[in-house]
Structure 1
């Protein structure tokens, strides 16, 4: 494609685009007749931007509040984990110090230790020692003493264990109370921060509503002043116009095409015009009377013609009825003749042809036996 063809194509496309834009401007009735209110559109755009700005600020405030809540919750979770770890460590240390397996009552069985070790056992003495006899117990005193000492140690250990457990329980309860107090304080702080954010949001919303109300009041005031000015101008125009001043000259048209008077300014006709209208009305009435007289004569002629036609139709109907009556009379005579002939024929059949009729016994003889 050459440069000339390219330039022609571009020129054609440019003309087509210009034509399309021109059609859009011409055939858009709203823009052509009403136009576009740029000030109103600008106000709407500014209002929308202000609303979006307030929404963005509110979203930022909510995001900061959420971040602060998340941080406080994380801190609370970390504190709870630390307290659990400390309690677990103290419990393990207490068990390792005061609840050892070696100090239990059955430690001698578990660790194979013998609590009572007499200097010489009964097996080592033998029967020749003359110290152990059947039924005797030479170690009874030492064994009872050792048992009593063992009981005292067990009671002492149990008492100490109970005291330590009571102490640690009180300590755990104290720590739990402190944790609850701290948690309550955190909740109070969080609620205070949340209330503060809510108050700030309410203040911002109230300021926005006040601004909107002030703007709306100003707009209503301007509209009212504009309407009052337009009403005053309309009243002044009506007072100074030809409609209320009633000037006869205002209704006269000076040349041009159309009626000779302006209908919106015409206040009435003169005596000459009224007399001319009356004369014309009288002529129209006389002409109408003549037309009515001619109509009455024409109606009378039509009535006489219709009466003559009615008489002819009645005479024709009478003739037709007479013919029908004669035809019915002839038909009756013919039917009577046929009836007499049929009666004579039936009598002949009954008297001469059907002379040997079967009796009732003839019909009852069939089916009377089994054969």
Structure 2
């Protein structure tokens, strides 16, 4: 199978991102501090009204376009039906004309025989009958018996076939009319269903607009109530802040205002108030210097320990490196000895092979046959 880079379908991700963006916009519109504090956003409401009007106008234009399209489709369907009927009538006329011109009884192969039987004058033959053979005979004895009955039966059969064909055509026309009636009824039902759906859609839109107006009104009332409560809360906080500033330690200049116990007791430890603090005491400064010296000594001790540890690791790595090099050297020497031994063995085999070849060529195969040896064979007739 060939690897084909198919396009990735990210429609689901796009839909999720679109819903997330819509939800974020809705939350930003609802939980916006400016809207909650300042009151109604008239620009946003006016924009909503304009958008609703544009949407209604677009929907009305779309409905008018759909109505025009339905009317056009109905006219096209009626035109097609009329053309189909005209085409069928023309085909029937052409068929009747073709039968009247191309399928006449006078043009058949036995028309002359039928004409003779009907009492018409025969053809004049200037050749004597004694010179004509059996191939020139046109009517034989006993051939015309029952022709009238056969012709009558054939005419009745033709009439029955024409009647059956006419009935079949009538049934087909009724069936087509019934189909056209059903199609027209279906189109009417579709139009009624479309009108009903349009009415339902308009009702849903109207209900949505009413719900949106109610929601906007409720939000406006809620925003006004929140603004009133927020204004009262701010006024209360400002009055409390003024009272606190008047009665606080910064104006009364309390000597113990710089330190307070957290949690109402010594458990939480003292808390320094920066706006009332006048600096650290000598005892606190000495404690800080002592703690700083201890931290410095601890840092030097840790650095010395890390230095010793790194040195030990370096020594360990050097020892391991020497051992690895020694082991590698031994392996290389062993490989070299094996290679030398293999070369000696191969050299010995080559020498033995050369000696064997010399023995075969110089010692074993030295007695070559002469011509006299070959002439002693096949020397007689037997």
TM, length-normalised to structure 2: 0.32
TM, length-normalised to structure 1: 0.33
Task: Look at both structures and tell me which one has the larger radius of gyration over its CA atoms.
Answer: 1
